Chains A and B, each alone.
Chain A
């Protein structure tokens, strides 16, 4: 063959070399399911659909390796919006769900899309705001606090993203018989909890948040304090469940079952109860006694 110019040759060689390097290394990824070390059993992938806030808490980064150590499964944790996680369940696109939207979950149980639903833990929502508390809502009951903030036309930041937290917030407004959108000072971010907290800090507004994210972020928020907490309506209850393999044939029944059983095991419970204590001085999740 005729000799092509060096630059061109280099280009070709580089392309081919990169190609080879990449295909061999993606090959490694593909074989990831196979035994990592000699003597280890073959692993089956299972898909766990959960919510972004659950993933953001970091709890799964502790639990999943524990589970994978005990069981021959590789968990693919897909963190999406609550709506999408539930939809993945009802379509059989996931094997197990870990979510916190009890009413919506019940619908999946009723339609037999999920089975073996187990109550795992809860954390709670809190209302936080600037330390000077412009609307004077501190320590009030939830409905009262919201009413005060509404009447004072104080800035209230909402995620507005149809997430579990957003749904919770809307339910709380409804209970207080208020339509927050009527207020010009109601801000919808359409973003995740962390970003929304930043917006609230920036705008010196109140916001409903889960405790875990707030604790994780407290240092970045400046003069921010918890205003309302401890009310029963502020609980955020997590359930784990198997997607029904009878109804959705591709669901990996054994893996899903193993995961649910793992989540309610004593060891796991202890890990959940201890999670966050070291870092934040208090737990992020609580067990039902």
Chain B
């Protein structure tokens, strides 16, 4: 209990004092996680829409694989990516291992199935007659897609929120492919693991409060966006 209070005090202290290292780590965490979820959204949204709306052979198989992917353990993703990016691996020429980009790739890999899968589910649930009705109202293909996106925004944002939750909490893969390098790839989760291993529980706790705060704020914004029209 005392440790908790101590951690909370330390967190406030570190934020108020504007500790440049903490700010840098927090900023990098935000950058990396938001970029990852953004990429997942940019890929997963159209992909999920197509999987939900268009029937083609092999679709069930892909949906099954995506559902399996939703449970992909981050460390497994991290391990695969490490092997690919290694100097002895096929993608070594990009020199991406131990860079923020590598973390973004790993986080995208673990959040993409969630965003895609939940979007696909949302679009599978759309009444076919609604699609016909929107076409009948004179919508072009793009307008149709935009309206359907808007109609499914609750489910889509739920997917993005779930994906973001996974990304911001992820540590195994970030540790493995990022290397927790000071000033380069150290993010909040990897710092927490490191500080715990050093026995600096108060700093670890303080970092955990910062992590929870930004996770809360972003999830809150997304949830607000998700719910705002409903309350009218």
B196 interface neighbour in A19, A77, A192, Cβ under 8 Å: A192
Cα(A191)–Cα(B87), bound, Å: 29
0/1 interface trace, chain B 175-198, chain A, CB 8 Å (1 if under): 000011110100000000010111
Cα(A128)–Cα(B209), bound, Å: 32
Cα(A70)–Cα(B180), bound, Å: 24
B197 interface neighbour in A1, A25, A47, A56, Cβ under 8 Å: A56
| B interface residues, tally (CB under 8 Å) | 40
0/1 interface trace, chain A 14-46, chain B, CB 8 Å (1 if under): 110011001101100110100000000000010
CB distance from A213 to the nearest CB of B (A): 7
- Residue B76 CB within 8 A of the other chain: no
Contact B197 A195 (CB under 8 A): yes
Contact A93 B88 (CB under 8 A): yes
Cα(A197)–Cα(B201), bound, Å: 12
Contact A22 B198 (CB under 8 A): no
Contact B38 A19 (CB under 8 A): yes
Interface size class of A (residues with CB under 8 A): 35 or more
- Residue B55 CB within 8 A of the other chain: no
CB distance from A30 to the nearest CB of B (A): 7
- Contacting residues, chain A, for B146 (C-beta < 8 A): 2, 4, 8
Stretch at the interface among B10-18, B66-74, B97-105, B107-115: B97-105
Cα(A14)–Cα(B42), bound, Å: 13
Which chain A residues (191-210) contact chain B, with CB distance < 8 Å? 191-195, 197-198
Cα(A123)–Cα(B29), bound, Å: 34
- Residue B58 CB within 8 A of the other chain: no
Which chain A residue lies CB-closest to B197?
Answer: A192
- Contacting residues, chain B, for A192 (C-beta < 8 A): 196-199
Which chain B residue lies CB-closest to A58?
Answer: B198
- Contacting residues, chain A, for B135 (C-beta < 8 A): none
Cα(A157)–Cα(B34), bound, Å: 41
- Residue A217 CB within 8 A of the other chain: yes
Beyond A76-B179, A76-B181, A194-B199, whether A92 also contacts B87 by CB under 8 A is yes
- Contacting residues, chain A, for B86 (C-beta < 8 A): 91, 93
- Contacting residues, chain A, for B92 (C-beta < 8 A): 250
Beyond A5-B229, A45-B95, A216-B198, whether A26 also contacts B182 by CB under 8 A is no
Which chain A residue lies CB-closest to B204?
Answer: A194
- Residue A183 CB within 8 A of the other chain: no
A198 interface neighbour in B32, B95, B201, Cβ under 8 Å: B201
CB distance from A181 to the nearest CB of B (A): 24
Cα(A47)–Cα(B198), bound, Å: 22
Which chain A residue lies CB-closest to B86?
Answer: A93
- Residue B225 CB within 8 A of the other chain: yes
Beyond A5-B150, A93-B88, whether A216 also contacts B199 by CB under 8 A is yes
B181 interface neighbour in A14, A77, A92, A198, Cβ under 8 Å: A77
Beyond A7-B229, A56-B194, A216-B199, whether A78 also contacts B42 by CB under 8 A is no
Beyond A7-B228, A195-B196, whether A22 also contacts B34 by CB under 8 A is yes
Which chain B residue lies CB-closest to A32?
Answer: B184
B88 interface neighbour in A5, A18, A91, A198, Cβ under 8 Å: A91
Contact A194 B225 (CB under 8 A): no
Which chain A residue lies CB-closest to B180?
Answer: A79
Contact A23 B95 (CB under 8 A): no
- Residue A71 CB within 8 A of the other chain: no
Contact A2 B143 (CB under 8 A): yes
Beyond A26-B101, A195-B196, A195-B197, whether A78 also contacts B87 by CB under 8 A is no
A18 interface neighbour in B38, B97, B198, Cβ under 8 Å: B38
16 residue pairs bridging A and B, Cβ less than 8 Å apart: A7-B228, A8-B146, A22-B31, A22-B34, A23-B35, A30-B99, A45-B98, A76-B98, A78-B179, A78-B181, A79-B179, A79-B194, A192-B196, A193-B199, A195-B196, A220-B199
Name A's B-contacting residues (CB within 8 A).
1-2, 4-5, 7-8, 10-11, 14-15, 18-19, 22-23, 25-26, 29-30, 32, 45, 47, 52, 55-56, 61, 76-79, 91-93, 191-195, 197-198, 213, 216-217, 220, 248, 250-251
Q: Which 7 A-B pairs have the closest CB atoms?
A: A194-B199, A192-B197, A22-B35, A78-B179, A250-B87, A217-B199, A56-B198
